[in-house]
Amino acid sequence: MGGSGEDERTGLLVSAAGDEESPSKAVVAAPKDVFHVAYAVYFTLGAGFLLPWNAFITAVDYFSYLYPDAPVDRVFSVSYMLTCLLFLLVIVGWAHLSSAPLRINAGLALFVVSLLIVPVMDAAYVRGVRGLYASYDVTVGAVVLSGIADALVQGGVIGSAGELPERYMQAVVAGTAASGVLVSALRVITKAIYPQDDSGLRKSANLYFIVSIVVMAICIVCYNIADRLPVVQYYKDIKVQAMKEERNEKGPKSGSAWRSTLWHIVGRIKWSGFGISLIYIVTLSIFPGYITEDVHSDVLKDWYPIILIAGYNVFDLVGKSLTAVYLLENTNVAVACCVGRLLFYPLFLGCLHGPKFFRTEIPVTILTCLLGLTNGYLTSVLMILAPKSVPIQHSETAGIVIVLFLVIGLAAGSIVSWFWVV
């Protein structure tokens, strides 16, 4: 994974020692990530681009209170996922003609705008009053805007991390899990300190959005620092050199040549993409719908789904962090494990209709944590491996394509969850 040696995608020898006989062949070693600043930045960016969605969906109790006649959670999911998917398709087709820093900064700015809409509108117009459906339409518009921002930021950040060594993609993926843990922690805190009435729900929702806005501001600073760090610039220079050599060898790419290259990239990572899509079809068809609607506890009462969601998010983070310790480097084995996760369907069904012990809190909690652990680890493995299977000059595009597969899985999983009738 790390260390010195030959970069498989560039053929460059990464070594501190020069070649006295052939100085032109010597390659300067990659700069060290001093104090792990670049790792921390990519971790923060990973947490950042999922936080707005988590804020909208975690505040769904408040929105459902405000708009009792609207299917808020489903409208939010469809609006966000479809918008993100459509814009990712556009980005994949035009990524070679656009600037990743421009896309990422624009997306982060859009996140801030979309997140500001809800608390500003609540303070100036809604004020906790139910049934103001004009504000509901504006809120859905904010969700759509956030979906556009997600396509810009997530595609750009994961594409950027794909150009770097594996640990930086692991940082991004672990950051996405940390976002879930942060929101779960906020959910537990707000439930403990605020009354579960209209006032408490309003205060909780505003807290989610304020925290998300602060994190977005931090992400804007972090990204613009990251783009100037020596270790990031080193690999960008390698990419630029590889692109120049490709142009010298093959000439400038026409539109049809780029489409051919794009299909080649898709062909190289299609099994990783299939695995990623399957992971999220299985996960989203069970979580959180099954957790929040189908299982109940006489002991834990309304704390039960909150504890289960927190357990899932913590183990998702554990799984995404494990690749820093051990990375499964065989894509075929990883995809086979993704297929094996289909066993969660009969296991979770058993928690409702199986033997009495299986219908208690312990088996449900264990299965939920395993769902999170496998989701986290296999996602991290495939997200790391996919961009490394193409030359470095195409790593960014490969990263965007794998995000497209991920969003397809999220959208399909959300649709399948509607038919999870147990």
Name the percent of the chain lying above pLDDT 70: 89
- For residues 65-82, average pLDDT: 86
pLDDT of residue 338: 97
Q: Give the whole-angstrom CA distance, residue 369 versus residue 312.
A: 5
CB neighbour list of residue 34: distance below 8 Å, 6 or more residues apart? none
Q: Give the whole-angstrom CA distance, residue 371 versus residue 402.
A: 21
Query: Is the pLDDT assigned to residue 132 strictly greater than 60?
Result: yes
Query: Is the pLDDT assigned to residue 26 strictly greater than 60?
Result: no
Residue for token pair 């972090």: 222
- The full set of domain ranges for the chain reads 5-14+33-418
pLDDT of residue 19: 40
Q: Residue 104 region, left (φ>0) first, then alpha (ψ -120 to 50), else beta?
A: alpha
Q: Give the whole-angstrom CA distance, residue 403 versus residue 413.
A: 15
Measuring CA to CA, which residue among 421, 407, 385 is closest to residue 78? 407
Query: Is the pLDDT assigned to residue 25 strictly greater than 50?
Result: no
Measuring CA to CA, which residue among 208, 188, 224, 209 is closest to residue 44? 224
Are the C-beta atoms of residues 91 and 392 closer than 8 Å to each other?
no
Query: Is the pLDDT assigned to residue 420 strictly greater than 60?
Result: no
pLDDT, one tens digit per residue, over 200-251 is: 989 999 999 999 999 999 999 999 988 889 999 999 899 889 888 888 887 7
- Binned at pLDDT 50, 70 and 90, residue 307 comes out as confident
- Binned at pLDDT 50, 70 and 90, residue 353 comes out as confident
DSSP letter string, 53-75: HHHHHHTHHHHHHH-TTS-HHHH
Which class for 69: exposed (0-12), middle (13-18), buried (19 or more C-beta within 10 A)? exposed
Q: Give the whole-angstrom CA distance, residue 368 versus residue 257.
A: 46
CA distances (Å), 208 to each of 55, 189, 408, in order?
5, 11, 27
Could you tell me which residues are beta bridge partners of residue 13?
6
Are the C-beta atoms of residues 106 and 152 closer than 8 Å to each other?
yes
Measuring CA to CA, which residue among 2, 7, 6, 3 is closest to residue 388? 7
State the amino acid at position 152 in one-letter form.
L
- Binned at pLDDT 50, 70 and 90, residue 293 comes out as low
pLDDT, one tens digit per residue, over 368-389 is: 999 999 999 999 999 999 999 9
Query: Is the pLDDT assigned to residue 115 strictly greater than 50?
Result: yes
pLDDT of residue 21: 39
- For residues 181-201, average pLDDT: 87
Could you tell me which residues are beta bridge partners of residue 22?
none
Structure tokens at 289: 């719908």
- Predicted TM-score (pTM) above 0.95: no
Q: Per this entry, what is the length of the chain?
A: 422
Query: Is the pLDDT assigned to residue 291 strictly greater than 90?
Result: no
| Count of Cβ atoms closer than 10 Å to residue 287 Cβ | 23
Mean pLDDT score of the chain: 86
pLDDT, one tens digit per residue, over 318-338 is: 999 999 999 999 999 999 999
In the chain, what is the greatest distance between 2 CA atoms, to the nearest angstrom?
Answer: 79
Structure tokens at 325: 């310790």
- DSSP annotation of 34: G
User: Which secondary-structure segment (H or E) carries 243?
Assistant: helix 230-250
pLDDT of residue 29: 82
Could you tell me which residues are beta bridge partners of residue 6?
13
Q: Which fold has domain 5-14+33-418?
A: Growth Hormone; Chain: A; (1.20.1250)
pLDDT, one tens digit per residue, over 43-62 is: 999 999 999 998 898 888 88
What is the crossing angle of helices 133-162 and 166-193, to 10°? 150
Between 4-13, 36-45, 116-125, the lowest mean confidence (pLDDT) is in 4-13
User: Which secondary-structure segment (H or E) carries 93?
Assistant: helix 72-94
